[in-house]
Each structure stands twice: as C-alpha cells, then as structure tokens.
Amino acid sequence: MSPHESAAEAPRPHPVALGTSPLTVDDVVAIARHDAPVILTDAARHQITHTRSVIEALADDAMPHYGISTGFGALATTSIPLEKRAQLQRSLVRSHAAGTGPEVEREVVRALMTLRLATLATGRTGVALTTAEVYADILNAGITPIVHEYGSLGCSGDLAPLAACALTAMGEGEVRDAQGCRRPTAEVLAEAGITPVTLREKEGLALINGTDGMLGMLCLALTDLTHLLRCADITAALSVEGLLGTDRVFAPDLHALRPHPGQAAAAANMAAVLAGSPIRASHDNHACTRVQDAYSLRCAPQVHGAARDTVAHARDVAIRELAAAIDNPVVTLDDRVESNGNFHGAPLGYVLDFLAIAVADVASMSERRTDRFLDPARNHGLPPFLADDPGTDSGHMIAQYTQAAIVSELKRLAVPASVDSIPSSAMQEDHVSMGWSAARKLRRALDGLGRVLAVELLTAARGITVRDPLRPGPAGSAAVDALHVAGWEGAGPDRWLAPQIETAYEVLRSGQLVTAVEEAVGPLR
C-alpha cells in the first residue's frame, strides 16, 4: 500500500534541517510524501565548503584520483586531461541516466533526492555548495525528475535513478513541474528561478553513487507496513468475532510465555478489538463444544507479531543507513580521499526481501480467514458465501478469488531479489545487490496486502452484520460504521462488488479504520 495519494490532504509539515543530525524515517516520509521543505544548516554549508576545497586541491595533481582525474568503473585506469574534466562529469551523468520503463512514483523520486542531499550535507562527498543548494531548491519547488523503473543494479549506488536527478540539476532532460505536468527541465527550472549547476571535478560521481533509492523506498515501506499491521490486527479480530472464535488465546500471560515483542503487541490489539463484544459473549457457554479455533484465527498474533519484529529489524537497518555518508571515493574525517565499497546495497536488499516475505504471509493468513467465512461447514451458521439468497446470489465468492489471486502474486514477489547478481562494467562490478529491484517489488506487495486486508474487512463486516440481532463490540461497531460512512451498502442481495472493495480499501488505506477503532477502544500498539 502506498498512501501517497492522500499527501495533499495533510497539512504541510515543518521544515526538515539537513546537516546537524541524521534524518529519521519520519523525516524522509515528511519530505517525500508530504512535501516538507528542506533546509541546509550552517554546519552543513561549512562542511560542504571545506571538503570541496579538499577536492579542488587534487584537481591539478599529477597522481590519478578516481572520479577526479580518471574515468569510471572499468575505465578507472584511463587518465583524463585537465581540460576535459568538467566534460567528464557531464558525460558521466548523461550516460548513466539510462533508465527505461514506467515512471517511478513521485514520492520515491523525492525520497531519492532527499537522501542524496542528506549525504551531500554531511560534507563527505566534495561537491560544491551551489550543487547541494540546487538539490534543495528543486525539492522545495516541488519539481520531480523523471526516473524510470529499470536501470539500477543496487550497487555502485542506484546509478540510473540518481543520474536522472543529477541530469535535472544540470538543467537537462524532462521533469514533472509542481502541478504534475511533464515538461523540459530547463524551462521549469527557469520559472522557479533555479540556475542549473555546472558540474566540476568529482561532482557527477558524488550525485549518483548512493543507495538512496532503495533506502527511500524502505523508509516509505516501513511507514506503510506499520500501519497495515495495525489494520491486520483489526481485520483478524473482526474475523474472530464474526466466526464465533474465542479471545482467550490473546491473554497477555499466554504471550508472555513466548516473549516476542511484536506478538505481544498484536495479541493486545486483537484483545482490545474484541473487548465487550456481545457476539463473542454469546457462545461463552456449555452449548459451545469447540475447544480450539483454526490456526488462521488462533495464531494471528504469532504471524502478525513476527512481521512486526521483522519491521523492527528493518527499521534498525534503515536508521544505520540514514546515518551513513555513502560515496566512492569519499572524503574521510581527516580529509583523505579514499575508494571504498559502502555503496553496495546488500544490507538494504536483504531486509527489503525479508519484509516481502512477511507481507506475503500476513496476506496469506488473511485470505484463509476470509475463506472460512464463506464455507457453511466452517462458518458456524452463516449462509454459504455470505449470500443473501444462496444460489441466486453468490455473495463474496469472487471477492475471495480476488484475494487468492493477489496472495499468489505476493508469494511470487516474496522470491528474494538479493540472491541474484549479474556482473557489469567489464567485470569491474562483478557482484551487485539488486536492492532497487527488492524495493520495487516490496512496494507492489504492500499494495497487494492492503487490498487483501480490505476484502477481509468487507467480509468480516458482512459476516458480523448477518449475525444480527447479535451485536459486535465497540470496536466492531466502529469498523462497520466507518464502512457505512464511506459508502458501503451493507449486507443484502448481490450488487456490483468492485466499488465496495475499493471503499473498504480506502477506509483501510487512509487511516479511517484505525482512527475509528482507536476512538472506540483507545490507542492500538
């Protein structure tokens, strides 16, 4: 799920300062998704100016220095004459802006540029201050470089995507203006009063040699998945309620016996959603002979909790990466210019793939709960497929097909990208991370998870409604009411189902579901 569409509805966040302390995940999301302005601090300006002088001191050196007086990649042994070194940087950007395929989403491009600017602000790259200022001006003007889906191997940085942004700073190529119109870059920069940069020694290399695309998508994914897991706790609890399951398995002392923090949080959320439910209380008697619920009901905290703990691990990786200054070569704290391999995306690629596995499993369990609602052998008194007139009506039969199709796709998207590597640059770059690809498929997976949960939400709401005159608890009532307010027409004869699924998806994606439930039972974990 990518709720960037709702960015315009939110108030413009406070400016984010670059160069004093590392960005947080929330900072990246605020700039990328909600257009928070960026500011270069005085400390950043001072450090950028200082390390630029280090690079300039090497510009006339007879000794070769990678990216300053040599070619790139497999051409690193080629010496570049002094009079061609500015052209070297322009040629680097133009040749590396070689992406193809669909345009990447605006929020991803803004995250990409934000994180490259954050690295420039550390003063470890040797760019000129004016170059960093142009990046800040482009972000603050709402100008978005055209970046394409394919082109990054996730090593030597996200080269093609970052080169597209550098091309914009040079005033070349095409961009989306603040209104979203695709236009020539030079024209849009001129309207915004931004003077394109003239790149000098090392600057082109410094603008393209980072893991910023995959890190930006990780920051956005962490925000989205954290929200989706709260939604999953809610939809799972509503399914337990509608399927006449028990809440005793969510007791804190049971989960303390297996002290995973994510599991405890998920169980607490599900218990809160089920609290005070008349439907739940209706079968708490000797007439109920069931001893245990199915795994998809009983073990939801274990699966959702494992996903939460995976998010926590991925967040730790993101925090460390946000504190990094990634470039090659890099200007060290004692002003040496050293080659290194910090641009390799393996740390990010691994956790991006790990998250995709968790997403697929949470969605798979959600689909199983939906399927139980539709089977009269397992739904404890509900009509087949929750149909109003079974046979004449099909109810939610095909909604489950839609879920199943998405879950199958999520399993394919869970296949790791980071285990693959294709050598490039005449075998100089002979092992790459594919972290960009891992990030791209995770974004698709998150959207799929949101839609799977939306079908479960809609199905659970229908199942609960069909239980009438039994009433759901405060949280269940709030969730059903949120759907009604958004336009859900409730139970009854078959009607066009696709718009109802989209309604449920919007309620879930936008935060309305979590807000409604928290207003009824208090904050969720």
- Active-site positions read 66
Burial category of 60 from C-beta neighbours within 10 Å (exposed 0-12, middle 13-18, buried 19 and up): exposed
Q: State the residue for tokens 């080659």.
A: 339
Half-sphere exposure of 98 (CA within 13 A, CB side): 8
Q: In the numeric block, which tokens belong to residue 273?
A: 């959603």
Half-sphere exposure of 37 (CA within 13 A, CB side): 10
Query: Phi/psi of residue 506, each to 5°?
Result: -65, -40
How open is the CA angle 238-222-414, to the nearest 5 degrees?
Answer: 80
Half-sphere exposure of 161 (CA within 13 A, CB side): 38
Residue whose C-alpha is closest to residue 178's, from 151, 150, 212, 144: 144
Q: In the numeric block, which tokens belong to residue 132?
A: 């960093």
Q: How far is Cα 472 from Cα 100, in angstroms, rounded to an integer?
A: 51
Q: Treating both helix axes as pointing N-terminal to C-terminal, what angle do 42-58 and 106-121 enclose, rounded to 10 degrees?
A: 70
Q: Specify the pairing of strand 337-338 against strand 330-331.
A: antiparallel
Residue whose C-alpha is closest to residue 229's, from 363, 417, 118: 363
Provide the sign of the torsion angle of the four alpha carbons 240, 246, 249, 253, taken in this order: positive
> Is 156 in contact with 194 (CB distance < 8 Å)?
no
Q: How far is Cα 510 from Cα 227, in angstroms, rounded to an integer?
A: 10
Q: In the numeric block, which tokens belong to residue 374?
A: 């539709």
459: left (phi over 0), alpha (psi -120 to 50) or beta: alpha
3-state secondary structure (DSSP) of residue 100: strand
Q: In the numeric block, which tokens belong to residue 82?
A: 């002094």
Residue whose C-alpha is closest to residue 96's, from 459, 425, 488, 427: 425
Q: How far is Cα 341 from Cα 334, in angstroms, rounded to an integer?
A: 19
Q: How far is Cα 368 from Cα 371, in angstroms, rounded to an integer?
A: 5
Burial category of 332 from C-beta neighbours within 10 Å (exposed 0-12, middle 13-18, buried 19 and up): middle
